[in-house]
Structure 1
Amino acid sequence: MHNFILIEAPTNLGLKQLQPDREPGVNLLPQALRETGLAEQAGISRSINIPAPPYSMELDPESHVRNADAIAAYSRTLGARVKEAVERGTVPVVIGGDCSIIVGNMLGLKSTGGKYALFSMDGHTDYVPPGKSGTAGAAGMGLALITGHGHPKLTDIDNLGPYIQEEHIYSFGNRELYYEDYVELILDSAVNYYDLPSIREQGIDTITASFLNMIKAEQLDGFWIHLDVDILDNEVMPCVDSPNEGGLSYDEWRQTLTPLLASPYFRGINITILDPTMDPDRRYTKEFSRQLVAVLRPLSAEV
């Protein structure tokens, strides 16, 4: 059982505008999930909100990352709250926002002095260093930044970088398979890489068991889950900024999360990229909330 704490991290600084004069709506996800009653239904009685800076498209000339200074500052604040929660023995459920919050989350874990793994459930690799990015948005660079690829503003905050070793990361679910240069970046790394076809070939249970065995073998202190909702099939989750054909069903999603969340090594999870402005009647947001409650509630010590 876990003592959960919900941390709202409503930042959209890591994303580029999809349309002129319209900022990404992922910062509204914490509010949208609050309205579904997520925390109460999941048995989470404690929550905090970390206000995010105003949206900007500013390109930092040093790092070649949009809003690099603001993201670094936000990551420090978020990281401090994650560190505090983990050291108290509570398990953060961090609701974003965009994928740049992985920097703060992994910074927080690193600042505890422990060694951790990451299970990254994402329809993209997010292993793109700043010089290779077409958008200059930190949301698409998460795995590269936390493993030390990029400017120290984001990769070495408080001299703690890299925040995690590549060999301790499982990248699970990429289906942007048509750009060879994009996939080669992660294939040339030490990250354990499972795209959607290899997940279907090897089996979810085999991959999650391998991940948990790696943690034991490496004598790590625990692991974090990065959950970008674009890992889900577009039919059940179309409210994302960069959709690709296919994805996991909710059954496959639960099959992946269930053993991970039940593990005594589980230290926290972040949820990102669901944009409520793309879901005007909240149909998909409500169903996602229901599915998330179904995997969290059985493990809540407060129920």
Structure 2
Amino acid sequence: MKEVYIVEFPSNLGLKEPQPGKEPGVKKLPDWLWKNNLHKFIPHKDIIRLDPPKYTSNKDNETQILNANSLVEYAREQAYLINNLLTQNKFPFILGGDCSILLGSAIALKQKGNYGLFYLDGHTDFINVSLSETGGVGGMAASIVTGNGPQKLTNILNLSPYIKEENLWCVGNREYDDEYENEIRNSTATYLSLEMLRKQGIENGVKSFLSQIETKNLDGFWLHIDVDVLNDAVMPCVDSRTPDGLTYSEFNELTSHLFQSEKLSGLEITILDPDLDTSGQYTKEFVANITTTFNSFKK
């Protein structure tokens, strides 16, 4: 088993303000997970933290994206850090942040080789800027890391695409809308909505992903977990709530197959907003589930 390094990226640069003058609370997530014992339950060698540039609610004139220049600066610093860990054969267990933290991870993966991405999220996050109502990279992260979107973000360090589109698996979306879903349907990525995943069976879905990693002889894969993939009843403390979602039983089954794989190179957890879980009840349940499953298979 590789040594685990807990990496904290407390960034909210990819989200719009929930109300004027109020920053998204997801930047408090690493501290909140620490307070709710995640760091205690995940055996780790060390904790590394990289604070982001200052948040603004301004869109970049050139790209119409929120915090575009700050995101580029931050992604480069993140990539340097993750690249170092991967080079030393360590396992980055990353705590976000919003989904825009994927940029740094994806750049590091491209620097190391050819990787797959298992994007587990209640949304596809695969849309063009023109479809985005907010200009937030959090809602287009999967699209950007596969080379779709403004060059400023898709081609940092001249590395576009960070992940080949055909090596992206987008799993768990339940935002059922043709215009929205057609973006991913018309790509070469594999798309498994929540409905499709259940129909196919969780084990079958994950196994076909893992067999593709082997068949294509990829260097490994990255796991992105947006907690809004979970059922709204057990995880309501997210910025974009949608009915339904994976139960913990389904989530644990799915992640257990991924955690067992030797090809899993690292993971990141995003979007849980401490401001929306003041008692900590939902966070505690999440921590209990993910740490138990992770420790069962990553000893």
TM-score of the pair, normalised by structure 2: 0.98
Higher relative CO (Cα under 8 Å, sequence separation at least 6) belongs to: 1
Residue 79 of structure 2 aligns to which amino acid in structure 1? G
Shift of 1:300: 4.5
8 Å CA contact 1:16–1:24 kept in 2: the answer is yes
Q: Distance in 2 between matches of 1:213 and 1:299?
A: 19
Would you say 1:93 and 2:69 are equivalent positions? Answer: no
Q: Matched residues in 1 for 2:50 and 2:56: separation?
A: 18
CA distance in 2, matches of 1:296, 1:4: 11
| Alignment-derived partner of residue 162 in structure 1 | 161
Deviation of residue 126 (structure 1)?
A: 0.3
1:150 and 2:158 aligned: no
SS at match of 1:264: coil
* CA positional deviation for 1:131: 2.0
- Report the Cα distance in structure 1 between the residues aligned to 2:99 and 2:50, rounded to whole angstroms: 15
Secondary structure at 1:243 match in 2: coil
1:138 aligns with 2:137: yes
Measured in 1, the distance between the counterparts of 2:106 and 2:298 equals 23
Alignment of 1:57-76 (within 5 A): 57-76=57-76
What pairs up with 1:212-223 in 2 under 5 angstroms? 212-223=210-221
Offset of 1:54 from its aligned partner?
Answer: 1.9
> Structure 2 CA distance, aligned partners of 1:194 and 1:235?
22
Task: Indicate the larger mover: 52-61 or 88-97.
Answer: 52-61
Per-residue deviation at 1:42? 1.4
Gaps of 5+ in 1: none
Distance apart, 1:38 and its partner CA: 1.2
Q: CA distance change for structure 1 residues 204 and 300 in 2, over 3 Å: closer, same or farther?
A: closer
Query: What is the DSSP-based 3-state SS (H/G/I as helix, E as strand, rest coil) of the residue aligned with 1:248?
Result: coil
Aligned with residue 288 of structure 1, among 286, 289, 294: 286
Whether contact under 8 Å (1:44, 1:300) holds in the other structure is no
User: What's the counterpart of residue 245 of structure 1?
Assistant: 243
Distance in 2, Cα, partners of 1:233 & 1:10: 24
SS at match of 2:117: strand
Task: Tell me the residue number matched to 1:23.
Answer: 23
Q: Given that residues 36 and 280 in structure 2 are in contact (C-alpha distance below 8 angstroms), is that contact kept between their aligned partners in structure 1?
A: no
**AA matched with 1:221:** D
**Offset of residue 45 of structure 1:** 3.1
The Cα of 1:108 is off from its aligned counterpart by 0.9
CA-based RMSD of the aligned residues comes to: 1.0
Which aligned pairs between 1:1-303 and structure 2 lie closer than 5 A? 1-112=1-112, 114-177=113-176, 179-301=177-299
1:227 alignment partner, SS class: strand
| Residues 265-286 of structure 1: CA deviation (Å, up to 9, x unaligned) | 0001010000000011111111
Aligned equivalents of 1:150 and 1:140: distance in 2?
12
SS at match of 1:47: strand
Q: CA contact under 8 A between 2:10 and 2:51: conserved in structure 1?
A: yes
For the Cα contact (< 8 Å) 1:83–1:108, is it kept in 2? yes
How far off is 1:27 after superposition? 0.4
Question: Which amino acid in the other structure matches residue 109 of structure 1?
Answer: L
1:120-172 Cα offsets, whole Å, 9 max, x none, are 10000000121221110000001110111111111000001110111111100
TM-score (norm 1): 0.97
Q: Is the 8 A contact 2:85 2:91 kept in 1?
A: yes
- Deviation of the 1:40 alpha carbon: 2.2
CA-to-aligned-CA distance 1:178-197 (integer Å, 9 cap, x gap): x2211111110011000011
